[in-house]
Amino acid sequence: MGRGNWIIAYIRQYSRFFVLSIILGTLTILLGTSLMFTSGYLISKAATRPESILMVYVPIVGVRTFGIGRAVFSYVEKLSAHSLVLKILSQMRIRLYKVVEPQAFLHRSRFRTGEMLGLLASDIEHLLDFYLKTFLPSLVSIFVYAGLIIWMGWFSIPFAIIGAMMIGLLLFVGPLFSLLYMKARNERLKRLKNGLYDRLTDAVMGISDWIFSGKYSLFTEEYQKQEQESYKLERQKLAFTNGRDVLNQFVLGVIVILTVAWAGKLTAEGRIAPVLIAALGLSLLTVLESFLPIARGVSELPAYLDSLRRLEAIEREKPPEKEGGTEKPSAQQQSISIEIERLSFGYSPGEQLLNEITLSINQGEKVAILGRSGSGKSTLLHLILGSLSPSSGEVKINGLNPCRIESIANWVGVLNQKPYLFNTTVINNIRLGKPDATIEEVQEVVRMVDLNEIIANLPDGYETLMEETGQRFSGGERQRIALARILLQDTPIVILDEPTVGLDPLTEKKLLATILKTLSGKTILWVTHHLVGVEKMDKVLFLERGTITMQGSHHNLLETEERYRRLYKLDRPFS
């Protein structure tokens, strides 16, 4: 997989569009040059009091024609170039998604969300800027530069050589110097921005852990320090850019003055009319100004190359071998165990959110995981789901690493605090658990979660629109619809991530009874922060500051742990 795969391949595929954009860009510059040439001629000719009105009327028509033509061709050129780049963008993003998607979701440990954002928002955008700001403008400028030197040589070979050298300062020397100066700074700035992506997304995902660990101020200070360093580099780049632009304008002015002097010499020799002196100076000014953006585009080449290297490395790298298939566990595999051995995890070095957790869960066991907010309950769930990789230790589901199980959704279902309901029909929302489910299967799970009468009374039954986020239904009803999804999904393990939060005590009690009844025989991991209904669990464990401080059955803990007895009494619902 070569570099041409991300650059040259698209140039070849859309070669006709590239040629069209180059032609339109060249014509836009030529029409702008013609506009200024005609304007200069018109001003000079009008000052000589011409003998016929036609001597100024024709240039006036030319000014209008070239002015309108320049605007039209400029618009069409931008439309063509952006249309071309958007075509390439769509293909690049599809291609990147096909490369990243199986690796990001199958092998979660390889990529962090911040790296995904860096790839999608930074690298792809850089390659698009390459086409728009560097490749197309540079080709157009080289064609115009070659034509300009040939035109100068037609009048004077020596002046053409001097012009080639002077204009080369704008077109070649300036961009090369910018490239050398900006290279290290752009690479460093890109690394900083990618680091900010990583830190920010990690912080968002683990914000509760940062807050409850009391270290959020440390994160804020480190993030601001990194951001200030990024701003400092941006200011250095801006100062250099401003200085370079001033120098380019100086060179441009010198070239125009030399051109006017050269035109004056040609006039003295009788080779051109005096009225062409201003026309030549103004037209050359327009051409040279079109060369000025090249330095800015070329100075970004290191960033383009860095983006290419990252994309190529991802495309070349083969994902690790799969440990689990895409099919649901077989009948023999339905007896599933979860083994957690000396499991530790932290978002940053030295910051352990879980510490040396060891736990064994057999098929069909109902386990309650309790603890105050920030104790590591949700982190433990993410590790079991494979959406996080341990800092040390391991999690095994039937001997398989969950990070490497291709379709973890075939093994583990999740009912969380706020299941999302989409703005589509009731039956479509339920079928998310099993897209090919028959109407009879849907009706069966709806009956199991006691929603059949409610759905029957809806205006269009199962075809009734849910409305965004399921606003048509109460909190308990939304949870029952999500539970119906889980039942259709039919996984041997079900995670309950505080599904009764925000419900009134009566609804909570009924929902818990429905959940435990319908999920009978499945392994249940119930994360909660209080003890309502915990007596129905086979095993209860308390997490505190990332470690298990209490573990056992409900009755055993009542007999042996004074703290548990107090907590249960305080949290027990009224009869």
- Residue 327 included in any domain: no
Q: Are residues 402 and 449 in the same domain?
A: no
Q: How far apart, in whole angstroms, are the C-alpha atoms of residue 530 and residue 477?
A: 22
- Residue 246 included in any domain: yes
Q: Are residues 553 and 458 in the same domain?
A: no
**Strand, helix or coil for residue 141:** helix
Q: Are residues 159 and 217 in the same domain?
A: yes
Q: Are residues 430 and 402 in the same domain?
A: no
Q: How far apart, in whole angstroms, are the C-alpha atoms of residue 459 and residue 463?
A: 9
Asked whether 371 and 544 are in contact (CB, 8 A), the reply is yes
Does this model's pTM top 0.75? My answer is no
Q: Are residues 184 and 156 in the same domain?
A: yes
Q: Are residues 67 and 192 in the same domain?
A: yes
Number of domains forming the structure of the chain = 3
* Tens of each residue's pLDDT in the chain, 575 residues: 444 577 888 888 899 999 999 999 999 999 999 999 999 999 888 888 777 787 788 889 999 999 999 999 999 999 999 999 888 888 887 787 777 655 554 434 444 444 555 555 567 777 778 888 888 999 999 999 999 899 888 878 888 898 889 888 888 888 888 888 887 777 777 677 766 666 665 555 555 555 555 566 666 777 777 778 878 888 888 888 888 889 888 988 898 898 888 888 888 888 888 988 989 888 888 888 888 888 888 887 877 877 777 777 777 765 545 555 445 554 444 577 888 888 888 866 666 788 888 888 888 889 988 887 777 888 888 888 887 788 888 888 888 888 777 777 788 888 887 777 777 888 888 888 888 888 998 889 888 888 888 888 888 888 888 765 556 678 788 888 888 888 888 888 888 888 877 777 787 788 888 888 888 888 889 888 777 778 888 898 888 888 888 888 888 888 888 888 888 877 765 44
Domain boundary among 284, 316, 348: 316
Domain boundary among 316, 346, 376: 316
Structural domain of 278: 3-316
